[in-house]
Structure 1
Amino acid sequence: MRPLDDITVIAPHFKRRLSGVTSTVVQLIPEQRRIGRGIVTLGPGLPDDLPKMAWNQLPALWRRPKSAKNRVWHARRNNEMLLGIILRDVLRMPLKLLFTSAAQRHHTGYTRWLISKMDAVVATSARSGSFLKVPHEVIRHGVDINRFRPGDGTTDTVEATGLPGQYLVGCFGRVRHQKGTDLFVRAMIELLPRYPEWTAVVSGRVTGENQGFADQLQADIAAAGLASRIVFLGEVDDIKPWYRRLTLYIAPSRNEGFGLTPLEAMASATASVASDAGAYAELIAEGETGKVVPANDFERLRDAIAVYLADPAEAIKAGQRGRAHVVENFALEREARALEMVYNQLLDAD
């Protein structure tokens, strides 16, 4: 077990299944450790190489860390906030509670009560902050610009995939109605016959409850005679090379928490077209790095995509501008250092 004397931040993660929160934690914690923060996770569902504390180490949190008056309990879900409240207020552990909110909806009374007990609150976007009833700071997520990078070799090309065409357009994420996978497929069925140099790829997990949804999409593709040009990849082991192979990325979600995928695409020098769900509108520079359309508006989505399919050279330029945009505004280090300022205020607070 990892000693906790030098650990000043606990980042609980109380969900086994992959989610946007999981992706955030997996990327952010190594960067936080790189800049010198003593931080560990607690809970299931995370890679083995992340620093962790064990459940039987919870009593050690009664002891203050060597370098601060308190530790920070950085929660991102209701159950994580609740345990933090119990540890601090019932068991009287020297903890300060921080909650990061990505929700784009009005909170329930229970969630508002939990949030009211936090020592500090961070919103991941201005939009998510607009639903909070407490003082908060907006710290947008970032991405690792070294892991998500432009292509630089033969494996980062369309030719390496064995798929037809000169350009790839893709949609990544769980295959389900909320993510708008059907909107993407419908747009491709309408557009690809007009643009024979393009091929579409869909990557993401299909859960049991969404198998019928995915089967219907594939049936629609087959009926349109496009089975070789709208390809379901399934859940790939490493999505990063696929971002590099794309010329255009589509994020058609009907609703979203934050939504990292357009940032991952732009960091890979890939243009993005997205709905205005989640924080997408705060990530994409309209007309420069891509386009943003109203959520669940099929016609606007299709027409925005068509602009780039008709002009691949402009899509490539938008992707290059996207890379510069992410490096300047959304590098992961920027998020980590902004959180450092919040942590430092809490660690020495009375």
Structure 2
Amino acid sequence: MTDPAQIDVIAPNFKKRLSGVTSTVIRLVPLQAREIAIATTGPELPADMPQIPLSALPLMSRSGPSGARVWHARRNIEMLAGLGLKYLLGKRLKLIFTSASQRHHTWLTKWLIRQMDAVIATSDKTASYLERQATVIRHGIDTETFCPVDDKAALRRDLGLPETGPIIGCYGRIRAQKGTDAFVDAMLCILPDHPGATAIVMGRATDKHQDFEQDLKNRVAAAGLSDRLLFLPEVPVWEMARWYQALDLYIAPQRWEGFGLTPLEAMACAVPVIATRVGAFEELIVDGGTGALIDAGDVDQMVAATDAVLRDPARLAAWSQAARQHVQDHFRIEQEAAAIIAIYRSLLKRG
């Protein structure tokens, strides 16, 4: 554990379950810790991360080594905690909130955002929903961890996947909002026409979505495709790169999304992406260059786009190469970390 007295920036992560926000914190904090005294706090974080126990927050010194500390929240509950530490417990804090949501906020969220010293938006669309000035900093990817693999067949063998034939992936929460059913419906059309192909749904259905998941599995079984459309359990963030590296094509079928990190993770591994026009996807994917964009919920478009690229290996190879280069040029995590650290330093200077 890290001594709070040595920390200038605290990036809380109060959610136990894996989420995009948790993934962001786990990726960014160790990298930022090379340049600034930062730690996270929250339940069930990787042991090797710089972190402060939740129980130490009320007892930590009023000021940090540079005066006021920065508290970087990414959820409402974390903004509330920052305000409590500042105004109820007298801690000297500068408050930042990162917003990824693309919707009109509740009165509570609007009020919380107004209390922040700085706001970051993860896309231009997100910024348009905020009723105050925000700095747009798009998410980045660790292109050393998320990278192409030299021997894809060996990796697939190690993961228990078919060594040959295209593999199409869809990762994340299993629910209607994420478009998992649209992906399954599209694959039920694609797989019979591409006998060597395999599709993967990887993720977890929370309790209220387990009937939804079971219905999808039943539909796949009824089509006789359970051995080719696989439902695999969620894996930890630090294991995800291997599952992207095994793919030939990734599909992001969301009906709604805040930002949506999975297309960047796939493209960094030289995997082209077919994605819906939601979240930040239109700002991430070059339509016809690193993949294709389709309308949310449109299974026919998903089928057509997938079929076209599977039948054109040269296009798939070109998209693969361009996808990797696109992420390296525009979406490296070092760029994201540096931009956020610049805001931290600006706030720390104000004391």
TM-score category, normalised to shorter length: over 0.9
Q: Structure 1 pair 109/222, CA: closer, same or farther in 2 (3 Å)?
A: same
Hey, what does 1:322 align to over in structure 2?
323
Which of 111, 115, 118 is matched with 2:116 structurally?
118
Q: CA deviation at 1:154?
A: 5.1
Hey, what does 2:15 align to over in structure 1?
15
Secondary structure at 2:10 match in 1: strand
In 1, the alpha carbon distance for the partners of 2:51 and 2:156 equals 39
Q: Structure 1 stretch 309-318 or stretch 168-177: which is displaced more?
A: 309-318
In 1, the alpha carbon distance for the partners of 2:161 and 2:74 equals 41
Secondary structure at 1:235 match in 2: coil
In 1, the alpha carbon distance for the partners of 2:80 and 2:148 equals 41
Q: CA deviation at 1:133?
A: 0.3
In 1, the alpha carbon distance for the partners of 2:266 and 2:310 equals 17
Counterpart amino acid of residue 2 in structure 2: R
Which ranges of structure 2 fall in alignment gaps of 5 or more residues? Answer: none
Q: Structure 1 pair 116/189, CA: closer, same or farther in 2 (3 Å)?
A: same
Q: CA deviation at 1:326?
A: 0.5
- Provide the identity percentage: 48
Counterpart amino acid of residue 26 in structure 1: I
In 1, the alpha carbon distance for the partners of 2:294 and 2:152 equals 33
1:245-256 correspondence runs (5 A):
245-256=246-257
Hey, what does 1:179 align to over in structure 2?
178
Q: Does the 8 A contact of 1:7 with 1:40 survive in 2? A: yes
In 2, the alpha carbon distance for the partners of 1:207 and 1:56 equals 28
In 2, the alpha carbon distance for the partners of 1:211 and 1:136 equals 37
Secondary structure at 2:33 match in 1: helix
Hey, what does 1:280 align to over in structure 2?
281
Hey, what does 1:339 align to over in structure 2?
340
Q: Which runs of 4+ in 1 moved over 3 A?
A: 59-63, 154-162
Which ranges of structure 1 fall in alignment gaps of 5 or more residues? Answer: none
Q: CA deviation at 1:86?
A: 2.2
In 2, the alpha carbon distance for the partners of 1:165 and 1:150 equals 17
Counterpart amino acid of residue 332 in structure 1: I
Q: Structure 1 stretch 14-23 or stretch 297-306: which is displaced more?
A: 297-306
Q: Structure 1 pair 196/175, CA: closer, same or farther in 2 (3 Å)?
A: same
Q: CA deviation at 1:190?
A: 0.9
Q: Structure 1 pair 231/55, CA: closer, same or farther in 2 (3 Å)?
A: closer
Hey, what does 2:44 align to over in structure 1?
45
Hey, what does 1:108 align to over in structure 2?
106
Hey, what does 1:305 align to over in structure 2?
306
In 2, the alpha carbon distance for the partners of 1:171 and 1:99 equals 29
Counterpart amino acid of residue 18 in structure 1: L
- Show CA shifts across 1:49-77 (max 9, x none): 211112343245444222x2311000011
Aligned residue-pair number: 348
Counterpart amino acid of residue 340 in structure 1: I
In 1, the alpha carbon distance for the partners of 2:170 and 2:176 equals 13
Q: CA deviation at 1:334?
A: 0.5
Q: Does the 8 A contact of 2:71 with 2:82 survive in 1? A: yes
In 2, the alpha carbon distance for the partners of 1:9 and 1:46 equals 17
- Show CA shifts across 1:320-350 (max 9, x none): 1111111111111100000011001100115
Counterpart amino acid of residue 256 in structure 1: E
Hey, what does 1:233 align to over in structure 2?
232
- State the TM-score, normalized to the length of structure 1: 0.94
Secondary structure at 1:239 match in 2: helix
In 2, the alpha carbon distance for the partners of 1:344 and 1:5 equals 18
Hey, what does 1:28 align to over in structure 2?
28
In 2, the alpha carbon distance for the partners of 1:154 and 1:63 equals 52
Hey, what does 1:138 align to over in structure 2?
136
Q: Structure 1 stretch 276-285 or stretch 266-275: which is displaced more?
A: 276-285
Secondary structure at 1:17 match in 2: coil
Q: CA deviation at 1:102?
A: 0.5
- State the TM-score, normalized to the length of structure 2: 0.94
Q: Does the 8 A contact of 2:154 with 2:163 survive in 1? A: no
In 2, the alpha carbon distance for the partners of 1:58 and 1:230 equals 46
Q: Structure 1 stretch 301-310 or stretch 177-186: which is displaced more?
A: 301-310
